[in-house]
Amino acid sequence: MRDPLTRATPLTRMNRWGTTLDLVRRPSHFCATAPVPVASPDDVLSWLCLCECFAGGFSSPLMVAGRLTGTLFRVHLALLPGMPGEGVLALAFTSPAASEPAGPPALCRALADIVAADGVTAPRWHGAALRLRTRLATTDALPRRSPWHRSPYDAQLADPLAWAARNPPDPGSYRPPLAALARELPEYHPAAEGGR
């Protein structure tokens, strides 16, 4: 289906939860991506857990900025399968004209706060790991030929609290890609594209 404004064919990628992320930059749709290293199942779980921690629910800072205090419907922060040894961290959300003055700047501020913070507290990390296990158990099965069934993406989380204790979040790993997302977001303000 072509976009009626840009006539471009949307580029979409499926996230771990079976929903697609629209990665095309266009008026009222924001997205930014950053490559991240993914070498082992624990790397995959760490990125999925960070996504859950930062954007998975109302206790997550991006969701708080986008939905609890803002009026965006959903802020997608997702790990997407990439080339061997590499994944893609993607941030995407739809912010139509009425939400635009407040939505994207609030998300940029929330990203900056995450990058500037000391790290993630243990209770927050444990809660994210528990929610990740719930999400893994309650999402529909992925298509058989999905790249998510390719090692190391077919990771399992049997004991979330033990896994969270063994794999604490590493600010040195997640700060650079999140900072890259924060830098990338304002660079293509839709108005500059003359879309509306």
Which residues make up the interface to another protein (CB under 8 A)?
1, 3-5, 10, 22, 26-29, 56-59, 64, 67-69, 71-74, 93-96, 98-99, 123, 127, 129-131, 133-135, 137-141, 160
Q: Which two tokens stand for residue 46?
A: 């760490």
> Rounded to whole angstroms, what are the CA distances from 91 to 4, 77, 78, 103?
23, 5, 7, 13
Question: Taking the complex as a whole, how short is the minimal distance between the CB of residue 191 and another protein, in angstroms?
Answer: 16
Closer of 114 and 157 to another protein (Cβ): 157
Whole-number Å distance between alpha carbons of 27 and 48:
28
Nearer Cβ to another protein, position 29 or 43? 29
Q: How far is the CB of 76 from another protein (least distance, A)?
A: 9
Which residues neighbour 25 within 8 Å (Cβ) at sequence distance 6 or greater? 31, 188, 193
Q: Alpha carbon 58 to chain centroid distance? A: 15
Minimum distance of another protein from residue 168's CB (angstroms): 17
CA–CA gap between residue 168 and residue 155 (Å, rounded)? 17
Angle ∠(56,59,61) on CA atoms, nearest 5: 75
Least distance in angstroms from the C-beta of 73 to another protein: 4
CA distances, 77 to each of 57, 91, 161, 181 (Å): 11, 5, 22, 10
> What is the closest distance, in whole angstroms, from the C-beta atom of residue 120 to another protein in the complex?
13
